[in-house]
Structure 1
Amino acid sequence: MDRLVVKKFREKLENLSISDYQGLDSPGLTCYLNCVLQVLFWTEEFREAVKRCSGNNSTSIDPLLKELFENLEKKRPQTHKITKILGIRDVYEQRDAAEYFEKILCHTSPEASKIFKGELNHKTTCHGCKKSSDSKSFFWILPLAVKDYNHKTYNVQQGLEGFFKVQKVSGENQLYCNSCNQKQDADLECEVTQSPEALTLLLKRFTFDSKHKGYVKLQCTADVAQTVDVANCRYDLYAVVDHFGDLTGGHYTADIKSFETGSWYCFNDRSVKNVDSKYFINGENKLRSHTAYLLMYMKGKFRVLLS
């Protein structure tokens, strides 16, 4: 068979929707929500927790998620009920996927949401008296700054390491110390004191530009690590939410690794297609992307499949 014909046939097959997996039928332009719902559905532990908890907590949205997840296993369901309960009135207004990821987790039962929930300890050390103070807070997402990488490649692993580096504040940014009774230079650092089962990283591509007096999107390319180490835990990449366009007009899609097949699929609203070729290049599992926005990692889940 002619090579050109074979190539065209292969490309056609790759672009076909995968009948085994379903897209979502939304009431408007809610791609930001569709991506998050697909990621939650393909987080096996979250899916199972929602099924267990849906009848126990009427104040959560677990029953609606359970209904949606059960439908996703056999057909393309509608998201109208989820959209309504989240208070989305204008379904044609662009919104942030990270915001709705956190909003859904805040409305789900504690047993389900704890899979994504971690805890940070923030430590402040005064340079004057050398005393330290601690404060703890929980997180759904760890935000990684990419503002200095607009014209060069951003390395996710290095960005994550930078998040935990000690930062010195001085000059106008000095902090008031109760023991010294005055402002002092200080060291700020944080550490993970409770590791989530699923770790979510946010590449902060939207930043305020003082020159243009508004927020702009940073289009830098990111080297996405397939595995990351946090608090003595190894995490493996299983989902990437991409953002295309800018603040005024953009689109979200989600690439997700199926825990059933070990293959990668792109969930683009109603359509689903295999994208293994995007993640396995010359036999290596790696990704370089200028659209990656949210990165989801599972604690040790895909270590065998990625080796």
Structure 2
Amino acid sequence: MFSIARVSVTATRTCPRTVKPDALTTMSPAGCPHVNGFKVDNWKQNLRVIYQCFVWSGSAETRKRKAKSCVCHMCGAHLNRLHSCLYCVFFACFAKKHIHEHAKSKRHNLAIDLLYGGIYCFMCQDYIYDKDMEQIAKEEQRKAWKMQVVTPHNSSMKGIGEKYSTWEPTKRELDLLRHNPKRRRITSNCTIGLRGLINLGNTCFMNCIVQALTHTPLLRDFFLSDRHKCEMQSNSCLVCEMSQLFQEFYSGHRSPHIPFRLLHLVWTHARHLAGYEQQDAHEFLIAALDVLHRHCKDDNGKKANNPNHCNCIIDQIFTGGLQSDVTCQVCHGVSTTIDPFWDISLDLPGSSTPFWPLSPGGDGSALNGESHTTGATTLTDCLRRFTRPEHLGSSAKIKCSGCHSYQESTKQLTMKKLPIVACFHLKRFEHSAKLRRKITTYVSFPLELDMTPFMASSKDSRINGQYQQTVDPFNNDNKYSLFAVVNHQGTLESGHYTTFIRQHKDQWFKCDDAIITKASIKDVLDSEGYLLFYHKQFLEYE
């Protein structure tokens, strides 16, 4: 993983900058004239402490401390481009201009961006460049990177900072930038990465999943960084084709792409999906992840055949750990197993499976900010049912290792390890010996999701199936943001798949094969929902 600090998925900037292009327009031989007022007494040591504690943290402990302490002192938010005043270490939002209010009232002209380490001058109204400050920033960044080992299993390996050096512009490059001042402004309306897909004959099930995968941030970063080293024939490797697909999507071309090579490889490696009949999007997702997983290599150069010990990009992003606790009803002994998963399939009201009666507006629903309409079911309701204890009954007795005999038991599923991308599959298609139908029950799902109540570590806080848990507002380890929704319109026999994609924060688009249109948040949340893709809000390097 290349996540070397707690990283906000919803941030609009995607990579740190050692030298900021915006600073070049204000940079002069003398630099910012307002910096000298800060350079008094022990300013270098004070600046180093700020970088060490609040910008680049070297260990997991310091990163957690940073995440808990760095909140806006006015509104309590973690995000919104948090800055710290250099004079009094006052944290405040840049986007909401809380740090501007502080600077104006205290006449403190300089602040530091806590995510990228840039220095902002409120007098110049721009990020500024100072040679002495930049040198301190680089030194502290290298120290932090050297503390980050590439893998937790081998502490002897070099740190990230020793392996990857920062880019510094040469004198010639700086001269070229000064003589060519035209720069392209990337705005929030940028649509690079949005591209339609031609339907090749009932292939909307594939197109909707491709849209979701190409807008998965870490998967996009992996494929665009050309990190895949293929040992297969290039015309048979699905990872190579996905790399090419990402290049096509982010090339800036607007014409719809024709994914014929991808379809051919899917037919080749997942023969149960071959043919022009309409297939299930969820089935395609699992098949695609499986083939990508098999065609990837882990960091040690070994083929990824064991899902429990794999470091391929698919497992890094999508694999979580599901804990199953089977409790004997006689001796209360617990047998625990942990299995990997790529997605979570959730039962819905209206199915033939008995659904746990849930009261609207319960603690779990309020936790995730889901609004109940009369009788509506929420995603949290479905997760509560998924993780409730289930009595297995007399017909499914297990041999208890404590009693040394077959006894009745209860089984409970919880999340032992959460994936970076959590995919929830709402089981809308019911197939049985007597029944084949689609379940159209509306399920409310939130933009932000907290998975803390469904963790194995939260089991002790559950009483009679209700969550009696005090939520820590500063604990973001298990919080997710919605970034893609796959929908199915129609019946079981005849239907069509579309996808809602989040391009930027609060900017959504509907992908209907070759046609892409802008969508509102209401359009997304009012949709029926078949596959829901959530991305972790913060990533912790492990």
Matches within 5 A, 1:270-289: 270-276=514-520, 278-279=522-523, 287-289=525-527
What pairs with 1:2-41 in structure 2 (closer than 5 Å)?
Answer: 21-41=194-214
Q: Is residue 300 from structure 1 mapped to residue 537 from structure 2 by the alignment?
A: yes
> What letter is aligned with 1:252?
Y
Instruction: Tell me how far 1:174 sits from its aligned partner.
Output: 3.0
Give the corresponding residue for 2:430: 207
Say which of 438, 443, 447 aligns to 1:222: 443
**Count of equivalent residues:** 273
**C-alpha deviation, 1:272, in angstroms:** 0.2
How far apart are 1:161 and its partner, in Å? 2.1
Amino acid at match of 2:230: N
1:206 Cα offset (Å): 1.6
C-alpha distance after superposition, 1:171-215 (max 9, x if no partner): 3233333443443221211222221111110111122466xx132
- Residue 98 (structure 1) aligned to one of 282, 294, 299: 282
1:145 aligned to 2:347?
yes
- Provide closer, same or farther for how the CA distance between residues 57 and 113 of structure 1 changes in structure 2, counting only shifts above 3 A: farther
Q: Which residue does the alignment assign to 1:89?
A: 274
> Per chain length, whose mean CA-contact separation is higher, i.e. which structure has more relative contact order (CA < 8 Å, sep 6+)?
1
Q: Is the alpha carbon distance of 1:54 and 1:81 closer, same or farther for their aligned partners in structure 2, counting shifts above 3 Å?
A: farther
Instruction: Specify the alignment match of 1:268 in structure 2.
Output: 512
1:63-103 alpha-carbon deviations (Å, 9 max, x no partner) = 10111111122332211111111114312x11111111111
Q: Give the drift of 1:34.
A: 0.3
Equivalent position amino acid for 1:118 in 2: G
Give SS of 2:526's match. Answer: strand
SS at match of 1:258: strand
Q: For residues 190 and 20 of structure 1, do their structure 2 counterparts lie closer, same or farther at Cα, with a shift above 3 Å needed?
A: closer
CA contact (8 A) 1:170 1:184 kept: no
% of aligned pairs identical?
24
Give distance in 1, aligned partners of 2:511 and 2:338.
36
Letter matched to residue 274 of structure 2: R
Q: Identify the match of residue 61 of structure 1 among 238, 243, 258.
A: 238
- Residues 155 and 224, structure 1, Cα contact 8 Å, conserved in 2: yes
> What residue identity is the alignment partner of 1:114?
Q
SS of equivalent residue, structure 1 residue 247: coil
Inter-CA distance 300–242: structure 2 relative to 1 (3 Å threshold) = same
2:310 pairs with 1:115: no
Aligned to 1:43: 216
State the alpha-carbon separation in 1 of the partners of residues 213 and 520 from structure 2: 20
Alignment match of 1:77 (pick from 257, 262, 271): 257
The structure whose Rg is larger is: 2
For the residues of structure 2 that align with 1:113 and 1:28, how far apart are their CA atoms?
Answer: 31
Contact 2:425 2:531 in 1 (8 A): yes
Matched residue, 2:5: none
- Quick check: which one's strand share is greater? 1
Write out per-residue CA displacement over residues 100-142 of structure 1, whole angstroms, 9 at most, x where no aligned residue.
Answer: 1111111223224421111111111111232211111111111
Q: For residues 31 and 50 of structure 1, what CA distance do their matches in structure 2 show?
A: 23
The residue type paired with residue 55 of structure 1 is H
Q: Is the 8 A contact 2:350 2:441 kept in 1?
A: no
Does structure 2 retain, via aligned residues, the 8 Å contact 1:235–1:297?
yes
- Under a length normalisation based on structure 2, what TM-score does the superposition of the two structures give? 0.47
- Report the counterpart of residue 419 of structure 2 in structure 1: 196
Q: CA deviation at 1:238?
A: 1.2
Per the normalisation by structure 1, the TM-score is: 0.81
Structure 1 stretches lacking a partner, 5+ long: 1-17, 280-285, 302-307
AA in 2 matched with 1:199:
A
